[in-house]
Amino acid sequence: MSNLLSAENLNGRLLFAIPKKGRLYEKCLEILSGADVQFKRQHRLDVALVQNLPIALVFLPAADIPRFVGEGNVDLGITGQDMVAEAGENVSSLISEELQLGFGKCSLQVQIPDPSLPANAQKTIKSVEDLVGKKIATSFDHLAGKYFAELDAKVTSARQLSGALSQGETLKTRIEYVGGSVEAACALGLADGIVDLVESGETMRACGLTPIADLLVSQAVLIKSKTPHSRSDTNLIQLITARIRGVIAASKYVLCQYNVQKKDLPQALEITPGRRAATVSPLEDADWNAVSSMVLKAQVATIMDKLEAIGASDILIVGINNCRV
Ligand SMILES: Nc1ncnc2c1ncn2[C@@H]1O[C@H](COP(=O)(O)OP(=O)(O)OP(=O)(O)O)[C@@H](O)[C@H]1O
Ligand SMILES: O=P(O)(O)OC[C@H]1O[C@H](OP(=O)(O)OP(=O)(O)O)[C@H](O)[C@@H]1O
């Protein structure tokens, strides 16, 4: 079978959009591998036919995935919540968020040259209100436009009321679209402030910027079209969603196993209640139970401290390769 993009090859296949590059790409490949979605992506081809399932992966820019999913050109997709919001109400209302994937976590913030830095001592902008009527650079022109349009209206009416503006005068913040390296815009004199994504804050600090407002927080999500195409196989969508949910849960949880005296069991189960319930088994010693429970990886150290403090012993933490929960 040829792997070339043709209607014939895609016929009968579920179309699943994956970011073709960038911050989400590697994590998406890990998830597909964990979900046993087997494929080979040929050089220069943005479509890969899955070998063991009737699925075709379509590699697209993360920003385009909400529109393709919303309009039903593809059935499923992975992208950021920020991209769904940026695509606007007309698109986001056609999409349902199936799963939050726990990676690609970031915030969309308004940033300005940090006024506490000596280099910016002359700058008068300290708040978002100070940016009204000025210039903003961003790749998120829809969200930034919406945010500043509301702020423009608020500040205009406040200044009209105070007499700082006449009734006919209005303030309008200019939103300049830039495709990348937004953080350089203020230093280059292109803008007075920016709206950009922040994760660790390293890029922002390296550019002498500081945040003054949050527009949204985002993470990668699995999205589905609300109006499925006739090609869409609901059972296959459910199967893929369940597999990906299992891969995500396995990366977040570990199995905590320990022995505890029966008298201390109620306390122990408060510490490790499990996702549905902990598994409690009898031991040869009638005064003791063995407990097995899924716990969040991020809480393991605290949970072990607490179990030890109530007298639990033989506490083991076991990694989970994959799961269905
Ligand atoms: N610093 C970050 N940390 C975590 N997630 C991020 C970060 N930057 C972006 N993301 C997430 O990844 C998505 C894609 O961003 P990315 O910058 O990789 O896009 P791209 O434009 O497709 O790639 P590139 O920047 O390579 O052109 C964003 O919409 C956001 O959800
Ligand atoms: O807070 P940090 O951890 O430093 O991450 C934030 C940076 O990451 C993103 O850009 P990316 O590096 O993906 O490249 P881009 O500017 O080309 O979009 C974002 O636009 C910031 O520049």
Take atom 11 of ligand 1 and give the residue whose Cα is closest: 104
Is pLDDT at 286 greater than 90 in this prediction? Answer: yes
* pLDDT, the chain, mean: 94
The CA 22 to ligand 1 mean position distance, Å, reads 6
Which ligand is closest in space to the CA of residue 211? 2
Q: Which atom belonging to ligand 2 lies closest to the Cα atom of 182?
A: 16
- The answer to whether residue 294 scores a pLDDT higher than 60 is yes
Ligand nearest to the CA of 87: 1
> Which of 7-11, 158-162, 296-300 has the least mean pLDDT?
7-11
- From 199, 205, 209, the mutation candidate for ligand 2 (largest count of ligand atoms within 8 A of CB) is 199
Which atom of ligand 2 sits closest to the CA of residue 201? 1
pLDDT > 60? residue 1: no
Q: Taking CB atoms and a 6 Å cutoff, what residues make up the pocket around ligand 1?
A: 19, 21-24, 61-62, 80, 82-83, 104-106, 180, 197, 199, 218
Q: Highest mean pLDDT: which of 114-118, 121-125, 137-141, 162-166? A: 137-141
Ligand 1 center from residue 108 Cα (angstroms): 11
The 10s digit of each residue's pLDDT in 67-92 is 999 999 999 999 999 999 999 999 99
Residues with C-beta less than 6 Å from any ligand 2 atom:
23, 180-183, 196-204
Residue 22's CB is within 10 A of a number of other CB atoms, namely 13
pLDDT at 227: 80
pLDDT confidence of residue 56: 95
pLDDT score at 4:
57
The model's pTM is: 0.89
Task: Encode pLDDT of 206-234 as tens digits.
Answer: 999 999 999 999 999 999 998 877 677 88
Residue 16 CA, ligand 1 centroid: distance in Å: 19
Residue whose CA lies nearest to ligand 1 atom number 25? 22
Q: Which amino acid is at 120?
A: N
Ligand 1 closest atom vs CA 20: 22
What dotted CATH number matches 7-104+219-232? 3.40.190.10
Could you tell me the distance, in angstroms and rounded to a whole number, from the CA of residue 323 to the centre of ligand 1? 28
Pairing relation of β-strands 106-113 and 14-19? unpaired
108, 181, 203: residue to mutate for ligand 2 pocket, most atoms within 8 A of CB = 203
What is residue 113's predicted lDDT score, i.e. its pLDDT?
Answer: 96
The CATH number of the domain covering residues in 106-218: 3.40.190.10
The string of pLDDT tens digits covering residues 308-318 is 999 999 999 99
For the chain, domain boundaries = 7-104+219-232, 106-218, 253-319
Fold match between domain 7-104+219-232 and domain 106-218: yes
Q: How far is the CA of 193 from the centre of ligand 2 (A)?
A: 16
* pLDDT value of residue 124: 86
Average pLDDT over residues 45-61: 94
Proximal ligand: closest to the CA of 138: 2
pLDDT in the model for residue 22: 94
| pLDDT for position 121 | 79
Residue nearest to atom 20 of ligand 2 (CA): 197
Instruction: Using the mean position of ligand 2's atoms as its centre, give its distance from the Cα of residue 184 in Å.
Output: 11
Domain covering 253-319: architecture: 2-Layer Sandwich (3.30)
- Ligand 2, residue 202: give the atom nearest the CA: 4
Token representation of residue 77: 């997709």
